[in-house]
Structure 1
Amino acid sequence: MSSQAFFWLNVGGGLLLVLIFLIGRKRITAPSRLNLRKGQGPGKGLTKSGGKEVHFRSRTFEDSGDAEMKNLNLMFMYNGHHFDAYEVLGAPAGASLDVVQKYFHQALARGMSDREFLEAAFTAIKMDRKG
């Protein structure tokens, strides 16, 4: 097969694919309308009598319990960057000092390379608990 015949065969195949794509497309239909009651046309389910009064008692923010949220995370700065002290040690946020001390010793036992970084996190938690 010559290159010219191969070219015209590819052009014909491409045109055939374009025609199939254009003819095979479905027409775009309008979105369906929501009909809440079967058998009624649009707007027939509404009445002109108006809405009924609704009585409710709203609670103010003070009535809903503890109005103040406590932030359990403790941020400290090390080497010009901010870090969460509990996250550095792997302890849950807001944990007691005994739990934090346990996590601190576990982190040291894992052989973390930056002991000074871990000590800075532990010291920040200790200082926060004292003051």
Structure 2
Amino acid sequence: MRTLITAGGMLAAAGLTLGLMSAPAFAASDSAAQGKPPKSGKDSIQCNENKSRVNFSWKTGYSSTKIYYNNHCLGGTKIKAAFKFWNDGSTPFYKCVTFEGMTKGTYKFAHINEIMDVNKDTKKCKQN
């Protein structure tokens, strides 16, 4: 009798352990299916006249999104970049920013939506 109770307890504990082990895997696949972008990232765009690039990295905080940039475009060439923002699964929105050539620094967006992409297609941008 004692052996049956011990064996039953061990089976129950094993079942509980397996049930708990599978729960995080399900939660991770659920968020991956939604396609929500990361809260930080990196990207770059190419200058018009040569193979120089403008490099970007960003971090989304509690009240804003901060962009770090390094523009390697020669001769003071300005580059206009289009930032594509996550919009809770609905249609994304775009904001454009112009960066001076041969400069580096930071730029802050006063909203907390995560950036999905940076490119030079400025047709979809809203007015700043």
Taking structure 2 as the reference length, what is the TM-score of the superposition?
0.27
Higher strand share: 2
Compare CA radii of gyration and give the structure with the larger one.
1
The one of the two structures with greater contact order (alpha-carbon pairs below 8 A, sep at least 6) is 2
Higher helix share: 1
